[in-house]
Amino acid sequence: MSSAGDAIRGAAARLAATSDTARLDAEILMAHALRCSRSDMLLRRMPDPSPAKFERLVERRLGHEPVAYIIGVQEFFGREFRVDREVLIPRPDSETAIEAALDVLGDRRSGEIVDLGTGSGALLLTLLAERPGFTGIGLDRSEGALRVARDNAERLGLAARARFHRTDWTMPGPHGDAWYTALPLADLVIANPPYVEADADLAPDVREHEPAGALFAGADGLDDYRIIIPALRAMLIEGGAAVLEIGARQGDEVTGLAQAAGFAVEIRNDLAARPRAVILS
């Protein structure tokens, strides 16, 4: 049997056909098989032989299953979040929305945050961790996603300040009223709604494994913005603001929807200089 180091090299060569980060993937999977961090693994002598579990993990990655789903966690803004196939995997691009939201909150010491389409809870829980005086509520139409979000709140010690509720903004409220009627007024609304066009050509990792309901939003990818943006005024306190993540080519369209609803708009770019979030105030 091969050593762990040899197994990593062999796996990286096999994964190169399906992953742009083949060596990194192999190292993360080996660390998971060894039940240690990747940094600890790289700093110590790797065991001989390689753990049998490693090959099973590699086979899953060769089937385009994302590494985060295989190991069950994903780092975001310096914290580790549990993920499974009920939720989108938090991505570095979404840190642009976090940074914009923190700028919006400024030096406020307390208040309420509403997270639309909370998924794993990564956006809401990151903001609550960064702003200890705030409370928040995360909404999602998926009960499976809400279970993941609640678990992450517990793991991060934030359960006392985070509530999670099942809500579908494409449907009326339980009494025939607006879907947002029962929500507290918010200092900040943050959302990473579905924004992918229905016929978009996605990588197999995304198309075959991540939840379609959290990805697709009609022919032009704007269906959810058309529902959310007109509702925001009724959801915010006076002087409140919203931060919405957007697709890299959606800045003009979302700006137009927001301006039609009476908002001033600021676009924030991600590290690749692509539009990634809008601030509506």
**pLDDT by 10s per residue, the chain, length 281:** 578 888 999 999 999 999 999 999 999 999 999 988 888 888 877 766 788 899 999 999 999 999 999 999 999 999 999 999 999 999 999 999 999 999 999 999 999 999 999 999 999 999 999 999 999 999 999 999 999 999 999 999 999 999 999 999 988 887 778 899 989 999 999 999 999 999 999 999 999 999 999 999 999 999 999 999 999 999 999 999 999 999 999 999 999 999 999 999 999 999 999 999 999 99
Same domain as 110, residue 56: no
Same domain as 138, residue 96: yes
Same domain as 112, residue 52: no
What are the binding residues?
A: 117-121, 140, 169, 192-195
Say which CATH number the domain at 139 has.
3.40.50.150
- Residue 43 falls inside a structural domain: yes
Same domain as 220, residue 100: yes
The pTM of this model reads: 0.94
Same domain as 196, residue 142: yes
- Residue 74 falls inside a structural domain: no
- Residue 81 falls inside a structural domain: no
| Burial of residue 116, with CB atoms counted within 10 A of its CB: 0-12 exposed, 13-18 middle, 19 or more buried | buried
Angle at 119 between CA 113 and CA 124, to 5 degrees: 25
Domain that holds residue 190: 90-280
What are the binding residues for S-adenosyl-L-methionine?
A: 117-121, 140, 169, 192
Distance (Å, whole) CA 90 – CA 152: 13
What are the binding residues for substrate?
A: 192-195
